[in-house]
Amino acid sequence: MSPRESHPSAVPARGGTDRPWVGAFYNPHLARETLDAAELFDHLAMADAPRAEDPFFAAVRERFVLLLHDYLGQLSEPYDETAIRRSRELAELYASPWVAEHFQCLHTQDGCFNLNYVFPPLYTEEFLQRFIANALLLKSRLERPLVMENVPGFFQVPASTLPEPVWLKRFFDATDTGFLLDLPHVWIEAEFAHRDPYEFLREFPLERVVEVHTGGVQQDEDLKAPWVAPTGPSDDMLDYTAYAVGLCPDVRAVTYDAFAPGLTAEVLIASVERVRERLGA
Amino acid sequence: MPEPARSDDRALQDALIRLLADTPFRDALYALGQAELPDGVPPEHAAILCATDPERVRRFARFLARHYYYERVVHFFRYSRALARWTGRSPEQVLRSPAFDELLPRAVLGSVETARAVVDLVERHLGEATSAPPYFADLRRYEGTQMLLEAGPRVWRDTAPAPRVHARALLVRSDSAVVVDFEWDLPGLLPELRALARVGATAPPTGRRAPTRLVIARSPRGRITVLRWTPALEPLLDSLDGERELADVATAAGVAPAEIVEVAAALVEAGVLHVT
């Protein structure tokens, strides 16, 4: 692939229109309802590989654009051959137009400790160079575009020496990968830092955005602070989403980000309808 | 602000991950500070860890612990969960119980000890159901065994070539494989339990009472595989003692070596056997 073809913004918009796709995550327990409301979903993001016994996956694969959004590895280290093979196989199964990975480092090198949830790397020069080198390696093996999602930090680590938006911009400039902008993540980080979320958002490299995640935010009892939750997006979040989409010239997809066994069909359908309505899609 | 370690940020990240995952380590670090370092933490890293906000770190660790075990309980106890409308008990309810909160001050995410404590809580909670199908105890044991087996360190990344299984290979049963006996034919029941979510069943499946022996194994990467203990599998696993070559075992069992190599390779990948 040429460098241009390997960038997600080269993926044609659905139906040749300029509007971004609107979709959600594939929640297998809601497969029937998702198929029944198929006209609402341009795409589905796949957080887990389909189970062999999933009776709906064949129809889902036939009906929707599928985006690979599984846990594949962490780019603090190079992917090993097993992870690369798995990434390629899943991307091929889904015919995914791009492959998503996270800016995260959540398990120790010796395999003894694992957080099993988004946790950002230290924003340092050393980690930046690790992520750049490993993303370039991965990109060369995927044979399809790579997009990277921002993840929030809940507490400050004094060893981080670069602001997150600067670190991300340098990463994207060096790798020419796409940006999967998770808006609830930016929103809650702004709240933790007592920043205006709109002002904070504009610091990120929005010209690199290919996909936007939107979703619910709720007060969490353990954190005693807001966190992303499988609830519908608030009116404020929908306004924020519309604002962000307007600032992202190459955005191709907007995804309602909720993947949880407790998610109900009513919340899923209503949320996608409201995203569509707010974006005029 | 302490001067960050410049040459080993990855090791510092490991220490941060442990700070969140390992409660006794975290408590020791914040209590002792840099005066007496918990095992294996260089002073420059301890200084950075101590400079984080303990209250926010503790809150995030608590949040992560609940999330970590929610994912596992919902995954491994999914069949018990499918029966909740008859038992009146969802396995994940324990994660919002005082008993789970009491466990948090000792929790080490991913450890066998914490997994055992969580499995015990879930089994006790489900075991108190007053209305449950007769195979429910077997099912809980089947699910709990898998969750327990999944715990412990795992290989996330491996650049060494996979161990090659050939006719002269020496193989032995892995510690991460267990043989469990059940009173009910669980493999025959599971498809019916999976279907409960999508069909409007008015009663749980009846199941079939039949002694069933299963091998439950964990691969080095943490993947769980369940196999029926078959008459063909039994002599194979019993004969592989790490001293007899695979070809000799095949000859003794009257099986073609090529066939046994293929079977053994699949069992190695599943974590039932390992190459010595």
B13 CB burial (10 A radius; 0-12, 13-18, 19+): buried
Which letter does DSSP use for residue A110 in this model?
Answer: T
Q: At residue A197, what are phi and psi to the nearest 5 degrees?
A: -60, -30
A268 domain residue, yes or no: yes
Query: Is A106 within 8 Å of B63 when comparing Cβ atoms?
Result: no
Q: Is residue A126 pLDDT above 50, yes or no?
A: yes
| CATH number of domain containing A234 | 3.20.20.150
CB < 8 Å to A124, chain B: 4, 9
Q: Measured between CB atoms, does B82 come within 8 Å of chain A? A: no
Is the distance from CB of B174 to CB of B274 less than 8 angstroms?
A: yes
Q: Which residues of chain B from 34 to 53 reach within 8 Å of chain A, CB to CB?
A: 48, 51-53
DSSP character string of A36-55: HTGGG-SEEEESSPPPTT-T
Question: How does residue A16 score in pLDDT terms, banded at 50, 70 and 90?
Answer: low
A219 domain residue, yes or no: yes
Nearest CA in chain A to B25: A113
CB < 8 Å to A30, chain B: none
A147 domain residue, yes or no: yes
A and B: number of Cβ contacts within 8 A: 122
The ipTM (two decimal places) reads: 0.93
Which letter does DSSP use for residue A90 in this model?
Answer: H
Q: Which residues of chain B from 110 to 129 reach within 8 Å of chain A, CB to CB?
A: 110
Q: Alpha-carbon distance B222 to B230, whole Å? A: 24
Mean per-residue pLDDT for A164-193?
98
A2 domain residue, yes or no: no
Q: Quick one: which of A199, A223, A196 has its CA closest to B64? A: A223
pTM of the model: 0.92
A1 domain residue, yes or no: no
What is the model's pLDDT at position B253? 79
B26 torsion bin: left (phi>0), alpha (psi -120 to 50), beta (else):
alpha
Q: Which domain holds residue A20?
A: 8-279
Please give the radius of gyration of chain A, using alpha carbons only, rounded to the nearest integer.
Answer: 18
Q: At residue A93, what are phi and psi to the nearest 5 degrees?
A: -55, -40
CB < 8 Å to B60, chain A: 154-155, 223
Q: Which residues pair with B177 in a beta bridge?
A: B217
Distance from CA of A280 to the nearest CA of B (A): 34
Which domains, from first to last, does chain B contain? Answer: 9-52 (no CATH), 65-151 (no CATH), 170-198+207-275 (3.90.930.50)
Is the distance from CB of B158 to CB of B196 less than 8 angstroms?
A: no
Which letter does DSSP use for residue A10 in this model?
Answer: G
Picking from B63, B156, B159, the nearest residue to A107 by CB comes out as B156
Q: Is residue A53 pLDDT above 90, yes or no?
A: no
A42 domain residue, yes or no: yes
A131 domain residue, yes or no: yes
Nearest CA in chain A to B74: A261
Query: Is A159 within 8 Å of B9 when comparing Cβ atoms?
Result: yes
CB < 8 Å to B67, chain A: 116-117
Is the distance from CB of A23 to CB of A211 less than 8 angstroms?
A: no
CB < 8 Å to A76, chain B: 10, 13
**In the structure encoding, which two tokens stand for residue B230, read together?**
């078959």
Q: Looking at the 3D structure of chain A, how many domains does it have?
A: 1
Query: What is the residue-level pLDDT of chain B in tens, covering all 276 positions?
Result: 444 444 489 999 999 999 999 999 999 999 876 666 777 788 889 999 999 999 999 999 999 999 999 999 999 999 999 999 999 999 999 999 999 999 999 999 999 999 999 999 999 999 999 999 999 999 999 999 999 999 999 888 887 777 789 989 999 999 999 999 999 999 999 999 998 877 678 899 999 999 999 999 999 999 999 999 887 788 788 888 889 999 898 888 788 888 888 889 989 989 999 898
CB < 8 Å to B198, chain A: 32, 55
Number of Cβ atoms within 10 Å of the Cβ of A125: 14
Distance from CA of A113 to the nearest CA of B (A): 6
